[in-house]
A = this chain, B = another copy of it.
Amino acid sequence: MRISELAERSGTAPATIKFYIREGLLPPAERTGYNQVSYGEEHVRRLHLVRALVDVGGLPIARVRAVVAAVDDPATDLQQVMGAAQRALPGRDAPAPPPSPSSLAAVAELSRAQGWVVEDGNPGVAQAAAVLDSWVAVGRKDLFDGLPAYASASDAIARADLALVWPDAADRDRSAETVVVGTVLGDALVAGLRRIAQEHVARTTRPRPTSSPTSSPTVEEPS
């Protein structure tokens, strides 16, 4: 198809499409003749993915490029694609200064209690520890009380993530895309659902647990 049709089908201006190609987010068109190029279905699909990462995921162009490169590189395994997607999220750079030993130990202890076994290099460890350092810095170590509940919910999210990935495990490209769409957009999804749930929970629970016995603000953790 010509760029005008691609633009219409993807809702993206031709100038933006050319920009994405120059930036390496989209493969170039196939040259079909003198001064004539043609775009295919893979361009439509990829454009939708790029737009989703930019518009809904809120990723800057450079991060979209890194994610797309991981998806396109057949030597990248799913764990690495997952890592690339996680690192692409805003505010997910390796924290500076590095997290404190005590916060890293708190994350390790939380992981142990949750039954998680992970390698030392998992970027989530430093990221979670950086949040704990921030809580300590603003004098809110009391917020640590919520950690087991957040860990338990995160475990449920990861199980939902993987339940979506496994059915496509034999198709590397498709499962890589699932990981990206699931991790980057899934983050926005969970943030949106959390906002809905917050309003509901704020309205239906009470500061004094005894006044609302059927909807206690205390989280019941799955055993």
Q: Which chain A residues have a beta carbon within 8 Å of chain B's beta carbons? A: 11, 45, 48-49, 51-52, 55-59, 78-79, 82-83, 86, 89-93, 95-97, 107, 110-111, 114-119, 122-135, 137-140, 142-143, 145-146, 149-167, 169-170, 177-178, 181-183, 185-207, 217-219, 222
B198/A162 in contact, CB under 8 A? yes
Contact between A191 and B134, CB atoms less than 8 A apart: no
Q: When chains A and B are docked, how far (Å) is the Cα of A96 from the Cα of B186? A: 18
Contact (Cβ within 8 A) B138 A197: no
For A153, the chain B residues whose CB sits under 8 A away are 153-154, 156-157, 160, 190
Nearest chain B residue, comparing its CB with the CB of A53: B134
Complex CA gap A185/B145 in Å reads: 15
Which residues of B have CB within 8 Å of A156?
149, 152-153, 156, 219
How far, in whole Å, are A168 and B3 apart by their CA atoms in the complex? 57
Q: Contact check: which of B11, B131, B167 meets A192 at CB < 8 Å?
A: B131
Question: Are B149 and A95 in touch, CB under 8 angstroms?
Answer: no
- Check A192–B160 contact: CB distance below 8 A: no
Separation of A91 and B118 alpha carbons in the complex (Å): 29
User: Are A155 and B124 in contact (CB-based, < 8 A)?
Assistant: no
Q: Do residues B45 and A128 form an inter-chain contact, with CB atoms below 8 A?
A: no
Q: How far is the CA of A77 from the CA of B170 in the complex (A)?
A: 50
User: Inside 8 A of A218's CB, which chain B residues have their CB?
Assistant: 159, 163
- Cβ–Cβ contact B195 & A123, under 8 A: yes
Are A164 and B151 neighbours in the complex by a CB distance under 8 Å? no
